Structure 1
């Protein structure tokens, strides 16, 4: 664990998520510097920065991250290997399903539109076509027959990423769920341990996150399955920090989808619902500090794409009881709490209606 005597921490990322994580390290007595990944080389490291720790706050090519770690001589969190596996959808699916036996949807990966057809035949219709590199839900299509495959390929294919396209079996599940999982040092034992935040239910439209709520109402069996999956995949990746582990919930059955070894957009709900939010949890875990995942209030969030909204619209949103707002790029995150999840969801929906 680094000490505040060697206090400079480089945060690799941009925007609100990187700034929030920087604030978390600052509150712990460190000197965070936010560096951009846009240049694609180690020259993206700000001049004069000599960190002992570099924390990756967004997905990036592993070659670039290795170059930055070498240029700074700092410890990289997550590791280059962890970033490589989790950025690539094929890598994390094969790690989860084939190496660790975790339940996943049936899946295939295609290098061409012709191969996509053969993959879809094996997986079966309807199926979901996705970019081969994790993109936070963008580029996905539900395909009901072969005629829809060319358009789905065009939407998912990106030669600047890895060029492959994923196909997975479509299941009409109850809902999607994120388990924020934290790996840090347990002060009682001095050993690595795992903590689980209360599950976060999520809803997407056209691959875009539009709503989250916490806690999600998993059955006892589903909760056991979800935490088992979360513990096994975070343990397989093996680095300290927070993991946003995305799952599909169908009754008591739970299927692994993907994992991000860093704070994420859906986890921003914890700023309203937990004693310690996801950014502070990540900073604590990276540094090997004590963890507290206590839920203090049921809550919900709406994620609204609203550029150029005025003061009056924001005032109407913030006038909704127990509601706050954070702007993340072109997305306004409206977070509400209540006596129940249902009440919090109603408040967040009411606030969102003022911005659209």
Structure 2
């Protein structure tokens, strides 16, 4: 585990603290830049050469991160102080094995396993953290998708069970859109569309991201710190812009912090989480959670 700040050491020396990024996109690049400022040694890994974070890292590796042997080989060679998953297409079983072997996964393997799969995420939000969410159902066939959409009601949203950046998602206005939603999930998901989640539409005032930071305080206890909520909006399912603070009521803001703490307490670990929520008036619904700050909270 990375030691206290005054012992960070110097990169490329025996005193160095080293992080390894599993995924080296634009988010990974931001993490790498901040780590460089602290003198932390950075190793970037991705499936393709010259990924963004590789431009500002000390070393890089290219390979299939869904292949456990590839991950283990890189870890064995580098022996990082912290492993930071940045994308969904990772062998999650390997993360649990590495954690058992004493490696520090940020925030932890469990949180990564839950947050990178929409069914696990939604069940955790609704049934373990017990926070409000939109109505939802699942479908594995086109017929089931028709039925799920009818039960949830139109308009509704369909999403591939494992994807990112809005890929594989569709806004379903009526029954005529269901085949398009099915095709979108199957062809464009960044991960898996073996199952599709159907979510009820919430007519919110603003969509926000709450960055919840789980960390040690001066007494060695794990506490959660919250900056002000970040407002953001999308265009055709893609993130467009964000601002801080979001313009929400004091009551809604208190509820945002309460819900974010309940969610991240269930996930556990240490690090920075991005909790996406919908706000209408004083009401708040949880939408998704990531084990890292993604686009909306970057």
Same fold (TM over 0.5): yes
Cα shift readout 1:21-42 (whole Å, capped 9, x = no counterpart): 1232233332121122551324
Question: Partners in 2 of 1:101 and 1:71 — Cα distance?
Answer: 29
Question: Partners in 2 of 1:185 and 1:172 — Cα distance?
Answer: 38
Cα shift readout 1:82-109 (whole Å, capped 9, x = no counterpart): 1111011111111110122110000011
Which aligned pairs between 1:60-139 and structure 2 lie closer than 5 A? 60-63=89-92, 65-66=94-95, 69=98, 74-139=103-168
Distance verdict in 2 for CA 1:173–1:256, change over 3 Å: same
Three-state SS of the structure 2 residue aligned to 1:248 is strand
Aligned to 2:265: 235
Distance verdict in 2 for CA 1:62–1:235, change over 3 Å: farther
Gap runs ≥5 in structure 1 = 269-356
TM-score by length of 2: 0.82
Q: Which moved more, 1:242-251 or 1:159-168?
A: 159-168
Aligned to 1:169: 200
TM-score by length of 1: 0.69
Offset at residue 20 of structure 1 (A): 2.0
Three-state SS of the structure 1 residue aligned to 2:143 is helix
Three-state SS of the structure 1 residue aligned to 2:166 is coil
2:239 is matched with which residue: 202, 209, 218?
209
Question: Partners in 2 of 1:18 and 1:208 — Cα distance?
Answer: 19
Question: Partners in 2 of 1:79 and 1:206 — Cα distance?
Answer: 32
Aligned to 1:43: 70
Three-state SS of the structure 1 residue aligned to 2:194 is coil
Aligned to 1:2: 2
**2:187 matches 1:155:** no
Contact 2:185 2:193 in 1 (8 A): no
Aligned to 1:200: 230
Aligned to 1:180: 211
Question: Partners in 2 of 1:31 and 1:93 — Cα distance?
Answer: 36
Distance verdict in 2 for CA 1:182–1:159, change over 3 Å: closer
Question: Partners in 1 of 2:157 and 2:233 — Cα distance?
Answer: 16
Aligned to 1:30: 40
Contact 1:173 1:248 in 2 (8 A): yes
